[in-house]
Amino acid sequence: MRGKWRLVALAVVLVPSSLLALDAACPPDLSRAGRLSTELRDSSGGILNVAVTSDGFWRLRPRMDGVAPLYRSLLLAREDRWFAWHPGVNPLSVLRASWQVLRHGRVVSGGSTIAMQTVRLLHPEYHHARNWRGIPAKLLEMARAVQLQAHLGREGVLALYETLVPMGGNVEGVRSASLIWFGHEPDRLSREEASLLVAIPQSPTSRRPDRHQEAARRGAAHVLDIAQYGKPDSSAAIWPDMRWHRFPAFAQHLTARFGRDAGPVETMLDRHIQSGTEQTILSQMEQWSGSGADMAALVIRNRDRAVLAYVGGGHYFGSTGMVDAGMVDMVRAIRSPGSTLKPFLYAMAFDHALAAPDTLIADVPLQASTYAPHNFDHRWHGDVTARRALQWSLNIPAVALLARLGPDRFLAALRAAGMTVRLPRGATSAGLSLALGGVGVRMEDLAALYAGLASGGIMAPLTLRRDGRTVENGRLCSASSAAAVLDSLRDTSLPDGVAKPERPIAYKTGTSYGFRDAWSVGVSPLYTIVVWSGRKDGSPRPGAYGLTASGPVLFRLFDLLPPEAPLTVAAPERRGRLGAGLARLGQSVMAQGPRILFPPKGAVIDSSEEQPVDLRVEKGKPPYRWMVDGRTLPGSFPGQSPVWTPSKEQDGPGFHRLTVQDSAGRSDSIDVRLMVEAQDVAAQ
């Protein structure tokens, strides 16, 4: 007798222990439920975009309390009346089904509970396998159902079922089905809609709503009859219009950025601004149809770096003539920034007392070792203030400042501020071309740095998600230098046809070497916008400048934003001249170098007879090189005499810049005026 009690006691201990060990060794596999469609949401929670899962389904998890209670009432009435009482398997249903099999030799009614059906949904491969049938498979399914409900509880099992239940085609889950078949969230299901969503899973193919509406309606009527809700009116007026409702398709590149199976992604995007930005870009691209040109843009809120609009390109699925080019996200692509890094260079130069906004810098031909930059218009402007040099985006002053500041110091500061900077292939350190865009950067980093200028020089990465935290990367420059740079850029010339905006906008353009990238950046007190245009394959677009290709779109995008109050705080005023170190590359070069004796500054020259003009120079170190508007004159080489014969073809009436450069790279420039005497007499 004692031996029997010992066996019983041993069984009482071993059986639960064995079950617990088995449960720990073989926990429920919920991986399929974790593969949810990436669902991009705007700042208000609305859907912007949805992508299919990696296994090809539209699968959305219902939001908390996001399913109408009527649906669950109908579901349990049809599928599992004793759901609230059993542990995952209904013993009475199992006994009934077993008795019917023994009596009739076939399955008359199933004994599956919601938990058992959910197990099959989690493992569809078992359900469809030929060798996975019969009593052993059913017993394992029942064990898994009990295990699943023990782990998740009844609410957890229902949530899984509502996420995975097949709803026709590649639609899975109650929420996906409600949005696709009815066009609204499942918290607003009508009686007929709820009954349809209960009926479709019983035969997802033959009751697919957009193909077999009558069969779906008959199934729904049967559900209502079983649930004792009464048979619905057969008139079509009470039934929903069951057609495929497409999901919104905003921010395709951002959706792809989060990858497949990411589930709900709460972003900072503003639906109105995102939609308007996409429409504006597509409208501009229609004018470029057939050129292969594309466009991308970011709209940022400065105070928290929130991304309000994200457009990585105009046509995600292509139409620019390049295979798969549409899917390239230009917000993240590495491209040359052109002149858009110059404001940060000037801000750092102001901080290091190398210059101030009113400092005079010599914009003259410059030879720095083997590097001889020139301005974009191939002209020189003599003494200009740093403020004016930045507004005009002159290259020589920027290179001179970088030479004094140090390219590696500037590069390190950019990287410390969070910018990814890629050096040219084979380069191990930065060179002076860094000032003119001789590196690769990302649009998102450029936007973050400009938003940092609006925040007093404090740098931080962009915020894409609502649950993201803004982490500061430190300062790139002082608040006073940032304000001085922005104040200078507010007087930059606007694109043709663009009226002066009501809001204060600091504006900078950039055009990369070979016309491969055309940039426009605008910074207002509250917002920063960056616009890029070009070809995604990096091929040139001759004549596409930042000012003309991207500038007009930038100001149209600012018109989408809420109005801002006028700027009332002026930038601090700084005055001064270049330090002695920088003078070697700048202003003092003119004092120590050559000086033009003839023609005199401001001379008026009659060019009607195309006679040669006498050219004379003093000081400096010969041989000399003479240039007119950046064009080297004949005879400007050792052993030759320079000759300038103004011609109507090359040198029309008006002012021209005459420059002489000695062998040490020092130069002098003057402006002269060419006139045609006959025309001037007639005009009088």
For 254-264, write each residue's pLDDT tens digit. 999 999 999 99
Break the chain into its structural domains and give their ranges: 27-227, 334-560, 595-675
pLDDT of residue 15: 45
Class of domain 334-560: alpha beta
Structure confidence at residue 6 as a pLDDT band (50, 70, 90): low
Residues with active-site annotation:
79, 339
Assigned fold of 27-227: Penicillin binding protein transpeptidase fold (1.10.3810)
Would you give the end-to-end CA distance of the chain in angstroms? 137
pLDDT at residue 577, rounded to an integer = 47
Largest distance between two CA atoms of the chain: 138
C-alpha 577/C-alpha 458 separation (Å) is 27
Q: Reduced to 3 states, what is the DSSP secondary structure of residue 41?
A: strand
Q: What is the pLDDT of residues 51-88, one digit of tens each?
A: 999 999 999 999 888 899 999 999 998 888 888 888 88
Q: If you average pLDDT over every residue of the chain, what do you get?
A: 83
Give Cα 527 distance to the centre of its chain: 16
Model confidence band, residue 486 (pLDDT cutoffs 50, 70, 90)? very high
Q: What is the CA radius of gyration of the chain?
A: 37
Please give the CATH number for the structural domain made up of 595-675.
2.60.40
**pLDDT surpasses 80 at 553:** yes
Residue 594's contacts (CB-CB under 8 Å, 6 or more residues apart) are 617, 618, 619, 620, 624, 660, 661, 662, 666, 667, 668
Question: Which pTM was predicted?
Answer: 0.78
**What pLDDT score does 90 carry?**
77
Residues 635-675: tens digit of each pLDDT: 655 555 677 888 766 777 777 878 887 766 677 778 787 87
* pLDDT tens column, 106-164: 554 556 888 888 999 998 876 655 555 666 777 787 888 888 888 889 999 999 999 99
Residue 592 pLDDT exceeds 80: no
Are 103 and 206 in contact by the 8 Å Cβ rule? The answer is: no
Reduce the DSSP state of residue 534 to 3 states and report it: strand
